[in-house]
Amino acid sequence: MKTIQFREAVCEAMSEEMRRDESIYLMGEEVAEYNGAYKASKGMLDEFGPKRVIDTPIAELGFAGIAVGSTMTGNRPIVEFMTFNFSLVGIDQIINNAAKIRQMSGGQFKCPIVFRGPTASAGQLGATHSQAFESWFANTPGLKVVVPSNPYDAKGLLKAAIRDDDPVIFMESEQMYGDKGEVPEGEYTIPLGVADVKREGKDVTIVSFGKIIKEAYKAADELEKEGISCEIIDLRTVRPMDHDTILKSVKKTNRLVVLEEAWPFGNVATEITYQVQAQAFDYLDAPIVKINTADTPAPYSPVLLAEWLPNSNDVVKAVKKVLYK
């Protein structure tokens, strides 16, 4: 094992896959000459050249469309959005073309493409740069949605996403690019659609994903001091969702808290709540509690932003609520 940053794990995944398959290329704003807005493509232009690592204008609709069209001629593009907030400019290409090509062509065309970049808040970036879009894209049949929380998962999941024959939305975080973690020296992939039990426990199940899961770890450490044992599940892939791992855990702990950095209406936590009550209602000893951001655009003020975002104290309170403590 070696210890590398999240951004290095992303770069290694892309580079290894591009060495393996010449049909793969990277396209996006500042991915080439600048080594990536977050240095996630550092050195790739030097290795692969300007025909496979392509700087684009600030025109997400245009380069997303070019990339989707190129899949129909045998290419496997990776499209980087500087932030998924900017993907809204090109969302027509993602929703109406990438997600639907296979069905609308009667299976004649696959669309092996990865759209990747940071999601959700990253400090004081304002309301229009602080939005979580996992549930938006997961709502669309034909798209797979991956949200890793650490370098090991990021590399293994990204390699699997690049090899997938369907369009994959791969969502990172500006606040995780510098995170360090152990990654194997050799080749490995992590299958899409498989959640991971990051921490075993017996009293309550906490389900989360992405950078906000760190607050669950902090809360679990605090609760352990009070004799409360938390089981933490990292979804890793939002769609397809690993219902079996969640249900197995809930049947053991009989209580569920879902932590998600997203607005409270119609989100991933809502879907998890429905699936658990539909398939494991008799195992629940308390109503499910979901923790989300406040139902407002993200504030710029650091004081208000801290109130807007879920934190470990919110998780502690939710766990005690489902335990009736």
Contact 152, 121 (CB under 8 A): no
Pick from 13, 114, 112: nearest CA to 72: 112
Residue 291: count of CB within 10 angstroms of its CB: 23
Q: Which of 8, 29, 60, 271 is catalytic?
A: 60
Q: Which of 17, 80, 129, 260 is catalytic?
A: 129
Examine the residue annotation and report whether 134 is marked as an active-site residue of this protein.
no
List beta partners, residue 65: none
Residue 300: count of CB within 10 angstroms of its CB: 14
3-state secondary structure of 33: coil
Q: Is the peptide bond before 240 cis (omega within 30 degrees of 0)?
A: yes
3-state secondary structure of 114: strand
Place of tokens 């629940």: 284
Examine the residue annotation and report whether 243 is marked as an active-site residue of this protein.
no
Concatenating the DSSP letter of every residue in 263-314 gives -SSS-HHHHHHHHHHHHHGGG-SS--EEE---SSPPPSSHHHHHHHS--HHH
Give the distance, in angstroms, between the CA of residue 261 and the centroid of all CA atoms in the same chain.
Answer: 11
> In angstroms, rounded to a whole number, what is the distance separating the alpha carbons of residues 173 and 151?
12
As annotated, the active-site residues are 60, 129
